[in-house]
Structure formats: structure tokens, C-alpha cells
Amino acid sequence: MIHRPLYPIQKNNLSASYLPKALLTIRQKKTPMTSQNKIISLSKNSFFDRESDTESKISDLTRANQYDTCGPSQKPNLSKIYHAKNNAKGYLLFKTLYTNACSFDCKYCINTRKEKKSSYTPEELANTFMQYRKNNLVDGLFLSSGIPKDPEAIMDKMLDTLELIRYRHRFQGYIHLKVLPGASYGSIKRASHLAQRLSINIEAPNKDRLSDLSTTKDYRIDILRRQRWLKNMDLSHGHTTQLVVGAGSETDLEILNMIDFEYNNFNIQRAFFSAFAPCRGTALEKKEKTEKLREVRLYNTDFLLRKYNFKIKEIKEILDDDNNLPKKDPKTLIAKNYFEKPVDINSATYIELLHVPGIGDISAKRIIEKRKITPIKKRHDLKKTGVIMHRADPYLKINGWHQRTLGI
Ligand code: SF4
């Protein structure tokens, strides 16, 4: 669908003379840059010869967004550039807030601190992003924002920014936009023409848990209703959500039930989990941080639900007495319940193969292809399909042989 440009498309106005010295040096050297040395260059240098208003805004607004992670075990990113992954492919995103001013009161959020607030203008943010992009320092943009008053007013500014990037600067690459809670249907529809991916954070697994953390967000109306709208919009990278883990007293079961509901009812592409870390000056500054392993186990289990079609019932069986995931690998624990005895590698179904620790989707498909030609009779042949044998051995029978114990 073609969306009519609201801005006249112009030639890109980033002439070499507009660029600060540091970037001109990078461009003139024409040295192939790895993602690592790109970031080192940025941190050592600056777009500007001296600290300017725009540069200090970039610092404030990228730092304010650093706790919004998008993947397992990522450290809060201290540069402006964020390493994202999609289907094992890595790419670099310029990740920033439009403004860190916010009138909402989410207890865990750094933007509730009483301190100087910053905001871009649409022109400023579009030009800044394009500077990064034109110098091949980033592949795309990840834009979110605080909400100073009316979510609609800030959505409007963010969308004006995206229109400048798309229609004036003709950038066709990846943009991920966070939809603000309470944004209108019209804004979200407009956003769906400008970004490949939209997301709205549910933050907590249900209404009660969210109300412990924020008095200003209505879970059902401001968030779930918007997700229902997103479900029917045409987005090449779909829509996602994120939760803060451990800021409240929610259990892993509550989180997993909600995520399962979201996969089944809102068609979310995936969920992200962000282990709570206290920020000085916020209402939860004294609360203990969430162990990173909890976040990792939620990602492991989410993967089983989302990619391997495991059932929530199987996951419930391995939870501890407090309805939380154990510290051990969930797939191994589920396998112990699932298999009464080792399964024959030549007759196991695809679903059975996926339940074997050490066998993933690719190796399961390879096994099925291989045994169509000839039965698998040796461990060595199985190993060649990519199976991690020491994990899989207790659950498999190969040519009549099987390991005698189901180890964990
Ligand atoms: S809405 Fe809540 S989480 Fe988002 S910026 Fe404002 S205070 Fe932070």
C-alpha cells in the first residue's frame, strides 16, 4: 500500500561539509569497519567538535533508553548503538527515546526521576539518525518515548520523524517503533505504514500486577486493546511486547500464561523479558535486582512455546512450589517427564525429536530427511546432523542401543 508523503521528497541534505570532523575522517579513510570498531570510533569521537545542545540530547535520550533490552542476556547498552538479532542475523540500531519527559509513574522507570529532561524535534532526530546511517554506522532505528502529557501528541511527533526519514531522506531500512500506551487507532495505523515492526510493552503479566507498578496505565484499555488492533495490521516484522521481570511479585507461571495467551490471541511475533535492575532516584531504587538467570530461563521456555510448539501444560509440570521456573534447563526437565523410555531414532516423530535435549528444529529435520534414505545406525551419523550427543543420548535408542540412565 502506498502512503502519500506528507513532506516533499528532497535530495539528501547531508553534504560532506555538514558532517563533523570525526565522521569525515571515518568516511575518508574508507577502512572496512567492523561493528565493534564502529562503536569505538563513536565513543572516542563525536559528531560535533564541541559539546552541543543536540549532542547532549542524543546522550540523554539514548542513555534513558538503555534498559529497554531486546534479547536475552544483553547488558544495558551504554552506546547509542544497539546490537539486535533477527533469525541469527545481527544488525545495529540507533536506539533512542524521542523524549525522556514522562508524566506516568512506572515505579521501575529511570524516566520518572526528577532531573533535566530532553526532547528532539522531528527534524533534529531525522537528521541525527541519517548522519549515523549515511556513515554506515547503523542499519536501522529503534524509537520509543516517554509521555510528557498526551500520548497522541508524542506519537504525532514520532510519526512526523519517521515520515521525514522515509520520504525526505528516502530511508527504506528497518524501523522499530514503540507504540505508546493509549495511542489512537489512527496513529497506530499511520505507524504501520512507516515501520517494519511495532511493539507495545505489557510490562506485567496482568492488570493487578501492573497496577502494583503504575497507577497511570490501564492494562486492558491502554495496552491490550492496542495489541488487538496491532494483530490486524500489515507489518512485515509483526508486533512484539516486553515485560519487566521481578519489579513486582509476579510468578513465572503468570508471565508464561500471559505470553501463551498473547501468542494465541494477538499473534505477537515474540516477547522480550527485561530483568529488573533498580535505578537510583526511582520508587524501586532499593529493591533487589532480578537474577539474570531468571530472564534466561524465561527466554528458554518462551522459545519452546513459540518455536517448538510445546504446551503450557508441559511447562507447568516443571515449575517449583512458588510457580517459578527452576534454575536447570527447562527442556531437559520437560524431557524427563515426556519420555518414559528412550525413543527409537528411526521411528520418532518430529515432535518427539524436538523434545529431545540436544536436538533442535534443524537437526530434527535433517534426521527425518536422512532416515528416508537409509536408517540411522551409528551415533556418528546422528552427530553429523548437528545433534549434541551427550545431551541427547539418554533419550535415544540407536540400532537397539541406549544409555541406561535418564540424566539431567
Ligand atoms: S510510560 Fe512508564 S515506562 Fe514509559 S517512559 Fe513513562 S514512566 Fe517510563
Encode pLDDT of 268-327 as tens digits: 999 999 999 999 999 999 999 999 999 999 999 999 999 999 999 999 999 999 999 999
Give the span between the Cα atoms of 33 and 20, in whole angstroms. Answer: 18
- For strands 401-402 and 270-275, give the pairing: unpaired
pLDDT at 41: 41
Q: Which three cell numbers stand for residue 351?
A: 515432535
Ligand 1 centroid to Cα of residue 8, in Å, is 34
pLDDT at 305: 96
Residues contacting residue 109 through CB under 8 Å, at least 6 positions apart: 102, 279, 282
Ligand 1 centroid to Cα of residue 47, in Å, is 29
pLDDT at 404: 61
Amino acid occupying residue 112: T
Ligand 1, atom 8: closest residue by C-alpha: 109
Q: Is the CB of 210 under 6 A from ligand 1?
A: no
pLDDT in tens, 58-93: 888 887 665 564 444 444 444 566 777 665 667 899
pLDDT at 399: 85
Q: Which three cell numbers stand for residue 238?
A: 509483526
Q: Which atom in ligand 1 lies closest to the alpha carbon of residue 102?
A: 6
Is the Cβ–Cβ distance between 385 and 364 less than 8 Å?
Answer: no
Three-state secondary-structure class, residue 127: helix
Ligand 1, atom 1: closest residue by C-alpha: 104
Q: Which atom in ligand 1 lies closest to the alpha carbon of residue 112?
A: 7
Amino acid occupying residue 404: R
Ligand 1 centroid to Cα of residue 262, in Å, is 22
pLDDT at 63: 74
Is the Cβ–Cβ distance between 91 and 84 less than 8 Å?
Answer: yes
pLDDT at 402: 74
Q: Which three cell numbers stand for residue 304?
A: 519452546
Ligand 1 centroid to Cα of residue 140, in Å, is 23
Residues with pLDDT less than 50, the chain: 1-51, 69-78, 407-408
- For strands 81-86 and 89-97, give the pairing: antiparallel
pLDDT at 118: 93
Ligand 1 centroid to Cα of residue 3, in Å, is 30
Of 256, 286, 289, which is closest to residue 274 (Cα–Cα)? 289
Give the span between the Cα atoms of 248 and 223, in whole angstroms. Answer: 18
Q: Which atom in ligand 1 lies closest to the alpha carbon of residue 109?
A: 8
Classify residue 220 by burial, with Cβ atoms within 10 Å: 0-12, 13-18, 19+: exposed
Give the span between the Cα atoms of 224 and 229, in whole angstroms. Answer: 9
Q: Is the CB of 109 under 6 A from ligand 1?
A: yes
Give the span between the Cα atoms of 127 and 208, in whole angstroms. Answer: 42
Give the span between the Cα atoms of 152 and 158, in whole angstroms. Answer: 10
Ligand 1, atom 4: closest residue by C-alpha: 146
Residue ranges per structural domain of the chain: 16-284, 339-402
Give the span between the Cα atoms of 114 and 110, in whole angstroms. Answer: 9
Domain range 16-284, its CATH number among 3.40.50.620, 3.40.50.300, 3.20.20.70, 3.30.110.30: 3.20.20.70
pLDDT at 52: 64
Q: Is the dihedral of CA 402, 403, 406, 408 positive or negative?
A: negative
Give the span between the Cα atoms of 199 and 219, in whole angstroms. Answer: 15
